[in-house]
Structure 1
Amino acid sequence: MSDLAHSSVRPGGPGLAIGVYSDGRLIHHAAAGMASVEFEVPIDTRTRFDIASMSKQFTATAALLLCRDGRLSLDDDIRKHLPELKLSVPVTVAQCLRHTGGLREWLSLSMLAGRSLTRITQAQALAFVAGLTEVNFEPGTDFSYSNTGYILVTSAIERITGQSLRAFTTERIFAPLGMTDTHFRDDSQEPLARYAYGYGVSEQGVRRADTEECAVGDGMIVTSVADLGPWFGFLHDGRVLGADVRDALLERDDTNAPYALGIYHTTVSGQPAFGHAGGAPGYHSQLLLLPEQGIGVVVLTNNTSIDPGRVGYQALRLAAGLPDEARLALIEDQAAAEALSGFWHDSGTETTFQIEQEDDGRITLTGGGGLSGTFALTSDGTWHGGDNRLRVIDGEIMAGSIYAPGRARAFLPCAAPVEGAMPPAAVYLSPEVGTLATITDEGVLELGLSLVAPIEPAPDGCFSAGMVTLRPDGDNLLVSVPGTYRLRFVRQPDGTRPVGVPPGLNLTA
């Protein structure tokens, strides 16, 4: 385990801690790298990290405790507890927690608005999403990972209990379990003992990259490898908090999709497992548990160049004595590669990519929102490209990552970009979030308070500007970014330039 930890870290750089757990106890651990590069403080088992979205299982557990108290139901329309929400359709608490409510991603919306997450509060985050009326899809019919659902459930918990999520979870979860080093960090300026600074690490060097928002529930728990043992005991058999809560946490919906409540189901070397990953500025994390063996691992990092999923899966195989995943034979099939060449589009997310055939029977995919890379056909009929997989079914490409908790996306062939095309120069405004988009005469998109990017033709009649996809819709514009799809921007009268800061994102609220 020590070799695995040290192989992931550059000398003197930020690093990681790995914990292995059995029967609610930390039985093996390894650490490498620095909690503070500036002060040369090494990481150990008591170093505390921001675990980002790994926090979601704790928020879901808090909601389930309130369900057991009779104060909340997973079937409740979230608007029952947050009547200021303007959603045009009901979204249940369960759909918020399972990412099946179609809720638009508040983090991508804040990026569109150009508002830094620094010091953004729970109240500001709620005020920002309260004006949303439309959803990405009919609730309950699809999966789209959205932190918004967890912001809403956190706000509902606070309304019901009259306590902050930090206070409620400390009283009902962490204190009973004896997890004294774990809490929701709802004040980013609060100094914390033994806290690892966050770092972005790339070929250009090491830079500080701390998480600074104060909204919680979708993330923002701080904890250590040493403190997580009792949580693995609860995940294994429900001890202390109750087997009913543990079982409900792991229950899937009627579609048997991998994502449960803040936990997703997966396999490790063919063995059933469950867990959750996390990623935030400066921090990555991964938790995994093999329920049949009762063995779990956690990987906590303050180094963005480390992939905690790969480290975590390998650590769990080592701890449980499981073999590596079987390698499939590669197949060179020029006809199969040629059949995939061209442009492809996912209508659900407005994601597009291009596939080009290589001389050796491989294909190269560009675009695709994280799917880019070179893929090779394997003996099971799947195209492998790093962590991503492509499978062709009835003329569709089903694409996804082996580490992604949701469903694979379906891509269909589409038209190539139209060379020289450009949407009309105009000013557009989103009625839902109050964000302004301007397309200049020079073909540049100015979006929100800070995003500026040149516009290029994209497949299927769309246009791209950095990570933003634009689709003309009559006189209006549909804007898509990861987690938020087809957000309508209404064209304003020529010559007007409305200004303002979207609700909830002003600095003084």
Structure 2
Amino acid sequence: MLTSHNLSKAIDDLVQSAFTPNEPGVAVIVTQAGEVIHRKGYGIANLELGVTIEPDMVFRLGSISKQFTAVAVLMLMEQGKLDLDDPITKFLPNYPTHDYLITIEHLLTHTNGIQNYTAMPQMHSLQRKDFTVEELIDFFKYQPMQFAPGKRWFYTNSGYFLLGAIIETISGLTYEQFVQQNIFDTLEMKQSCYDMPQRIIPRRACGYQKGTDGYLNAEYMSMTIPYAAGSLASTVDDLAKWDAALYTAKLVSQETLRRAFTTTRLVNCNYGYGWFITNYQGHQIVEHDGGIDGFAAHAIRMPNERIFVAVLSNNQHKERLLEPLIVKIATHTIGKPYQEPPTIQVSSELLASYEGVYRFHDGAEITVTCQNNILFSRNEGCPPLEYFPVSPTEFVFKSNSFYQYRFISNAQGMVTGVELRYRLDPPEVANKIANAVPELV
């Protein structure tokens, strides 16, 4: 095990390898049993003013907000105001369930089958619009169900939006008021809030995305849209307070939290209530990532070792780098550094056999092509991504080895599909629908 000084230096080196000083960057904190091992800001908080990031600055959390929503629901459960098996129509009587039983637990665990409103094509053109809670529920509630509740796992922001509405119905407070009064104020998380662009929030970092000629200010988004699925903002210091509180009964009992940190009963599902539950060499990891216009975030807790790591970034362009960065930091902290899988050489003929168009069950397509003996993959409307082989059939994303493709062949050796593996999600198969593809540019 490294000494605290050497560990902090190793963490510093990891972060500096991912973020340069002259671009939007990241705030980082690492604690063990409440002791701060590393706390530092990297890069620029405001490019126009040249203000550098400091670790007490405020960042949007994106989907890390879901764990606060989940605990808010569990607080109401412990108060006897709801049961996780309650149908959502008990609190939202006008919600059309399409003759299915949808429970609060289905919403918490992403097993509800409701369409993800943020993935609906119309949503992007509406992101400047301020919605009431009822208006946005109306926007997605009549969409067809993706599957029967409880039969599959599929990440959807719609479930957590509905949980916010249920919290409001039961408590008589807005979602913002409930979280502020019952969580942030209780834990003295003084720099945490429901983020609103119009509000003056001291020490708030500006969000950036990458354009063809460099960094741009992030597109405006009404924070009425992410709501209980991703509207909160905080600092790494306040998130460390949040983590410390989860070892106590300040908000809910440890017995209830154990339920939150237990994966759903579905096969290949590693989600609890507002957290992903993963494992690294026998060490349990409880975590969540977050991405929202201009910002990216990830937080990991290793409860058996009492380790907490949070990385909050105002650089949306670096979102794919946050997960490998935080995993490397956490595994360094326990003395078992993560090792990238070694790459191998694969023949150009084999690479060519993987070229084609592949379609997932939801209709999304990816295009795979080979250029200069390198495999590239592209989603519609996105730039091509470079992949490297770690076996004749398995490839990892150049910047994040947790994104993996495994190509599938039939008995005759013809490539029929590709399985997308991502560390936090169940595997998903896309069937090959075409062989010929245009060059990716």
Which TM-score applies when normalising by structure 2?
0.83
Q: Which amino acid aligns with 1:82?
A: L
Runs of 4+ in 1 over 6 A off after TM superposition: 368-371
Cα distance in structure 1, aligned partners of 2:233 and 2:17: 25
Aligned twin of 2:365: 352
Q: Which amino acid aligns with 2:206?
A: Y
1:77 aligns with 2:96: no
User: CA offset at residue 3 of structure 1?
Assistant: 3.6
Aligned twin of 2:5: none
Aligned twin of 2:425: 406
Cα distance in structure 2, aligned partners of 1:299 and 1:114: 30
CA shift in 2, pair 1:168/1:24, >3 Å: farther
1:46 to 56, 71, 93: 56
CA shift in 2, pair 1:394/1:294, >3 Å: farther
Q: How big is each residue's C-alpha offset from its partner over 1:75-134, in whole Å with a ceiling of 9 and x where there is no partner?
A: 22222211222231332222222222121121233635832344334343223234x152
Extract unaligned runs of 5+ from structure 2.
1-10, 411-415
Cα distance in structure 2, aligned partners of 1:359 and 1:206: 29
Residues 82 and 156 in structure 1, CA contact (< 8 A), matched pair in contact too: yes
Aligned twin of 1:159: 169
| 1:69-468 equivalence runs, <5 A | 69-88=79-98, 89-109=100-120, 111=122, 114-130=125-141, 132-185=142-195, 187-209=196-218, 211-215=221-225, 216-236=227-247, 241-256=252-267, 257-268=269-280, 271-306=283-318, 307-332=321-346, 337=351, 340-346=354-360, 348-356=361-369, 360=373, 363-367=375-379, 373-379=385-391, 382-386=394-398, 387=400, 388-392=403-407, 395=410, 397-403=417-423, 405-415=424-434
User: CA offset at residue 264 of structure 1?
Assistant: 0.6
Between the two proteins, the alignment pairs up a number of residues equal to: 414
Q: How big is each residue's C-alpha offset from its partner over 1:399-429, in whole Å with a ceiling of 9 and x where there is no partner?
A: 33534x3212112233568xxxxxxxxxxxx
Q: Which amino acid aligns with 1:382?
A: E
Q: How big is each residue's C-alpha offset from its partner over 1:190-217, in whole Å with a ceiling of 9 and x where there is no partner?
A: 1111111211234522221154322411
Aligned twin of 1:64: 74
Residues 406 and 420 in structure 2, CA contact (< 8 A), matched pair in contact too: no
SS of structure 1 residue aligned to 2:234: strand
Extract unaligned runs of 5+ from structure 1.
418-457, 460-509
Which TM-score applies when normalising by structure 1?
0.73
SS of structure 1 residue aligned to 2:31: strand
Q: How big is each residue's C-alpha offset from its partner over 1:265-317, in whole Å with a ceiling of 9 and x where there is no partner?
A: 23446643120111111111000122222111000011112232222122223
Which sits farther off after the overlay, 362-371 or 235-244? Answer: 362-371
Cα distance in structure 1, aligned partners of 2:133 and 2:34: 32
SS of structure 2 residue aligned to 1:160: helix
Cα distance in structure 2, aligned partners of 1:77 and 1:359: 55
Residues 17 and 45 in structure 1, CA contact (< 8 A), matched pair in contact too: yes
Q: How big is each residue's C-alpha offset from its partner over 1:419-447, in whole Å with a ceiling of 9 and x where there is no partner?
A: xxxxxxxxxxxxxxxxxxxxxxxxxxxxx
Cα distance in structure 2, aligned partners of 1:398 and 1:368: 17
Cα distance in structure 1, aligned partners of 2:90 and 2:123: 28
Q: Which amino acid aligns with 2:427?
A: A
SS of structure 2 residue aligned to 1:217: helix
CA shift in 2, pair 1:292/1:90, >3 Å: same
Q: Which amino acid aligns with 1:273?
A: I
User: CA offset at residue 349 of structure 1?
Assistant: 1.1
Aligned twin of 2:8: none
Aligned CA RMSD, in angstroms, stands at 3.0
Residues 199 and 302 in structure 1, CA contact (< 8 A), matched pair in contact too: yes
Residues 205 and 314 in structure 2, CA contact (< 8 A), matched pair in contact too: yes
Residues 395 and 405 in structure 2, CA contact (< 8 A), matched pair in contact too: yes
Cα distance in structure 2, aligned partners of 1:368 and 1:226: 38
Cα distance in structure 1, aligned partners of 2:333 and 2:325: 12
More helix by share: 2
Cα distance in structure 1, aligned partners of 2:211 and 2:255: 44
Cα distance in structure 2, aligned partners of 1:415 and 1:397: 10
